[in-house]
Structure 1
């Protein structure tokens, strides 16, 4: 059961109307990291929480507060729109040409909501329930919550510097403070989950014995930037190994032949069978790989050398040898089937 109190959590009175800024404030209402998002995120996390007690109570307390933040911002938007669009024009758009360019208030605020806030972002894009994270795993959710509050505080800080209205600034000072404490509470709640033995560092706390142990402590150097391995994550006792010259573990990403009814363009015979040998170019080297295996059988600097190795391997296995050009297209096929 929810009960509404008519008093705002904090005052929302601008010094004067400003339709253009009202449109900007819509981001804090219906944007991806706006108050509607954290409201619904926390509500569904609370409703999905399987543990009665401190964690669920914290989530529901914060969720209910966020409903009030939506109301505060909606009230501020309505007051910034007072008299618009008939008699008030945004200070930044007094010139008729600039008014046309800047757009002033969101047309939806005049056409749909009658001079009030709308459940949308600053571009008028409707709020989307896909913005929220409510997985049922408290560690994963609390980390998402801390990130959402960080993004929300960042946007609030930017908007704080976009207005000189003292009433708007006063409300945003309050919002900044609440975003600060919400970040702190979720980070401390994460620590408490670990102290209570409910979660560890990794979410979910399971299947560690199932995952491929070869790949759970490596970072692949896959960009031109050379300094990734200089970070603290790659040094010290608990460092993650930085693979500076990683090799692809799979073969070419060739899609299977399509259903004829889909009429997708394709060339017959381009897909080698399981067990065939492919000679192909990747990561600056020529490689041979048995189709179906995760690693290359051999590599070489020159195509002729790799092609000879692939041909010999195909002969020994009694399979087809497929030779690809650098662009991945098939250049040659030789069948050594017995």
Structure 2
């Protein structure tokens, strides 16, 4: 059961409308690493969790928090779109700055109109100057963005990745505006992303120390079923050997179960493939598909 508190987690309204920036903010809602993705990812991971209750509870805590982040961004977009008249959207791109100067009008107004005309048209046509469940170029949010595998260590690593990318995009958007209200709201969300990155690092450490799951994932698969002679080799598959200087090329492996080995010139371990002839009724082209030679009958 979910409850909604009408008060936002945190919010400072933008000082002025900016329909072009509203288009950019959509990435933080419906992009690959947007709040819709992490919200659904954490909730499904929590609902599917079969591990200790603390992990399930933590996942549902953060998944529910992300619902509030979407509401904050949707509210921001509504304010950024407020005051963007339809006439400006329709006519803004028709006049150039040079034409404005030669015509005696204020070029600053013309520039404002051009920017407004670059807004996401769906913000007026589809959502009536509100947020949509899509990214900054109008691509609809997709459930395939989320990861909920049932393996907590694999999922927590994916969560760390999502929060790292999400914070990266949020700080980039912070630098794309000078609106104090927008920056103040984003600074809160960036701070929460800082917490969430640390949270997933702590959760990974907690999970591994418990012995429930360790590297390599899944740790319950018997490693004696692997071709273990290749399990800790780094293969140099490009020209140059600078990669030999990395931690991944020498010393004990990160799981403590092997020793890294650098293979400077890896050789193929298999033969050249010989494709099977295939199903003749599919009429694929192969050596056996040549039509039979016609035989002339004696007249």
* TM-score interval, smaller chain: 0.7 to 0.9
SS at match of 1:15: coil
SS of 2:234's partner is strand
List gaps (5 residues or longer) in structure 2: 97-110, 254-258, 290-299
| Aligned equivalent of 1:201 | 215
Q: Give 1 or 2: higher helix fraction.
A: 2
Q: Deviations over 1:4-43 (max 9, x none)?
A: 1111101141001000000000000000000000000000
Q: Is residue 146 of structure 2 the alignment partner of residue 126 of structure 1? A: no
Aligned position for 2:10: 10
> 1:170-185, aligned counterparts within 5 Å?
170-185=184-199
Q: Tell me, in whole angstroms, the C-alpha distance in 2 between the residues paired with 1:95 and 1:227.
A: 54
More strand by share: 1
| C-alpha deviation, 1:174, in angstroms | 0.5
Find the aligned partners of 2:250 and 2:76 in 1 and give their Cα distance. 50
Moved over 6 A (4+): 98-102
Contact 1:42 1:63 in 2 (8 A): yes
Cα distance, 1:255 vs structure 2:
3.6
Give 1:224's aligned residue.
Answer: 239
Matched, 1:267 2:281: no
Which secondary structure state, in structure 2, belongs to the residue aligned with residue 209 of structure 1?
Answer: helix
Q: What runs of 5+ residues in structure 1 fail to find an aligned partner? A: 270-338
Equivalent position of 2:102 in the other structure: none
Q: Does the CA contact (< 8 Å) of 2:19 and 2:119 recur in 1?
A: yes
Q: Quote how far apart the aligned CAs of 1:234 are.
A: 1.6
Distance 1:145 1:229 in 2: 30
Per the normalisation by structure 2, the TM-score is 0.83
Contact 1:12 1:75 in 2 (8 A): no
Matched positions, count: 267
- TM superposition shift of 1:83: 2.1
**Structure 2 Cα separation of the partners of residues 258 and 114 of structure 1:** 56
Are positions 1:115 and 2:129 aligned together? yes
CA distance in 2, matches of 1:256, 1:161: 57
Q: Hey, what's the Cα distance between the residues in 2 that align with 1:138 and 1:173?
A: 30
Mapped to 2, the partners of 1:88 and 1:192 lie a distance apart of 55
For 2:269 and 2:145, the matched residues in 1 are separated by 34
Q: Kindly indicate whether residue 265 of structure 2 is the aligned counterpart of residue 245 of structure 1.
A: yes
Matching residue of 1:313: none
Matches within 5 A, 1:32-51: 32-51=32-51
Compute the displacement of 1:71 (Å).
Answer: 0.6
The residue matched to 1:219 in structure 2 has which SS? strand
CA distance in 1, matches of 2:215, 2:200: 15
Measured at CA, do residues 254 and 158 of structure 1 come closer, stay the same or move farther in structure 2, by a change above 3 Å? farther
Aligned to 2:63: 63
Whole-Å Cα distance in 2 between the matches of residues 262 and 15 of structure 1? 65
1:215 is aligned, of 212, 222, 230, to 230
**Residues 264-306 of structure 1, C-alpha deviation per residue, up to 9 Å, x if partnerless?**
333339xxxxxxxxxxxxxxxxxxxxxxxxxxxxxxxxxxxxx
Higher-RCO chain (CA-CA 8 Å, sequence separation at least 6): 2
